[in-house]
Amino acid sequence: MKKNLIATLFTSAVILAANNAFAADGTVHFNGAITTEVCNVDPAPGSALTVNLGSVSRASMEGAKGNVSSLQQFQIVLKDCPVSVLGKPAHVRFDGNADNGDSNVLALTQVSGVATGVGVQLVNQTVSNTILPLYQSSDSLTLAAGNNYFKFGARYVSTQSTVVAGVANSSATFTVVYD
């Protein structure tokens, strides 16, 4: 009887301790909407925009982490926006593979003969001219009738002091986020 009581008390204590270990500290509510009230995007969904970063000398990228090539500009255009979104802000978010966990640098596509020690860096140019990390919203643009231009730049950035020459292609997907 005494053994059963001790076993029951021990089991109860373990259950109570486990419940305390998994206690919630707060709640997060996720709100939003899936909508059909969106602008037409150029480049059109399903088609790709190609930004030519050119051929860059290995010597100009080597020597220190953070060396950059010339900025190549590109844009994403929102047009034919419905009245319901006019006057409201929108953002663009790029998603892709970060270089060694650095969300400021897009990793190169891994193919035979790929360059190493370098990645692609995206830059906001709609308003701020700042580095645009992956998975974060770009500069905001208040939507107006007509064409709305999100302006960006892309360039190579050295991620190591030693750079090995090779193929230096990368890709990212983008999403337009309407506020």
What is the per-residue pLDDT for 157?
97
Q: What is the pLDDT of residue 5?
A: 46
- Taking the CA of residue 154 as centre, how many other CA atoms within 13 Å lie in the half-sphere pointing to its CB? 21
What stretches in the chain show pLDDT beneath 50? 5, 9
Residue 19 lies in a domain: no
Q: pLDDT tens-digit profile of 7-41?
A: 554 555 555 555 555 667 887 877 877 888 899 99
Q: Residue 22 falls within a domain, yes or no? A: no
pTM of model > 0.95: no
In a domain, 71, yes or no: yes
Residue 4 lies in a domain: no
pLDDT, position 11: 55
Domains contained in the chain, number: 1
Query: What CATH number does the domain containing 141 carry?
Result: 2.60.40.1090
Query: Is 2 within a domain?
Result: no
- Bond preceding residue 43 cis, omega within 30 of 0: yes
d(CA 95, CA 109): 14
Three-state SS for 7? helix
Whole-number pLDDT of residue 179: 87
Q: Give the span between the Cα atoms of 161 and 66, in whole angstroms.
A: 8
Domain assignment of residue 116, yes or no: yes
- Portion of the chain with pLDDT greater than 90, in percent: 72
- For 152, other C-beta atoms within 10 Å of its C-beta total 23
Domain interval for residue 87: 40-47+56-178
- Residue 12 forms part of a structural domain: no
How many residues does the structure list for the chain? 179
Residue 28 located in a structural domain: no
